Amino acid sequence: MGTGYLVKKEIVKNILQFEPINERISKLCLKGKFHNITIINIHAPTKEKDEETKERFYAELQQIQEKVSKHDLVIILGDYNAKTGRERAYQKVIRKHTLHEKTNRNGKLVCEYAIANDMVVASMFFQHKNIHKGTWISPDTLTLNQTRSK
């Protein structure tokens, strides 16, 4: 397990910093034209992990994000191991373009993090056909899941 980045040769000169924080989080800072860009790559705990592990993960992510310059564009991407539904309470950050009706516990953590940090789950802001929303299909091909990044 781990997180990392593939970077085109043309972009290497714009790398300001790469920081592998732990096996679940890494950070890449790029020089941008108007603002620097900080990309935080994550692999969140799965639904089977205990609440303390999940809370510790999001607390660490929050600490990392708070250290980023307020002038940087921040993108958090990766595997949140979450399902987000269409509940009205989360429509500000996920809108309604999701495969799922109900948000699971990990999805709630993602949404709460986004709300607390004035962020959105951008991959769900735009309407797509359901066939293009799914990112994982079960071996029996009966279950299609949508796992997204911010």
Rounded to 5, what percent of the chain is helix, strand, coil?
Answer: 30, 20, 50
Q: What is the pLDDT of residues 33-54, one digit of tens each?
A: 999 999 999 999 998 999 999 9
Q: What pLDDT does residue 149 have?
A: 41
Q: Which of 101, 121, 97 is nearest to 109 (CA)?
A: 121
- Top pLDDT among 11 and 98 is at 11
Confidence check: pLDDT of 89 > 90: no
Strand 25-30, strand 15-20: pairing: antiparallel
Summarised one tens digit per residue, pLDDT across range 4-33 is 899 999 999 999 999 999 999 999 999 999
- Using alpha carbons, list the distances in angstroms from residue 12 to 31, 32, 56, 71, 148: 10, 12, 32, 21, 26
**Does position 118 have pLDDT exceeding 60, yes or no?**
yes
C-alpha angle 67-3-119 in degrees, rounded to nearest 5: 45
Q: What is the pLDDT of residue 84?
A: 80
Q: What is the average pLDDT across 74-88?
A: 86
Whether residue 96 has pLDDT greater than 90: no
What is the spatial distance between Cα 58 and Cα 64, in angstroms, rounded to a whole number? 10
Mean pLDDT computed over 100-115: 87
pLDDT, residue 15, reads 97
CB of 65 closer than 8 Å to CB of 47: no
For residue 94, what pLDDT band results from cuts at 50, 70 and 90? confident
Percent of the chain with pLDDT over 70: 76
Nearest CA-CA partner of 82 in 115, 116, 42? 42
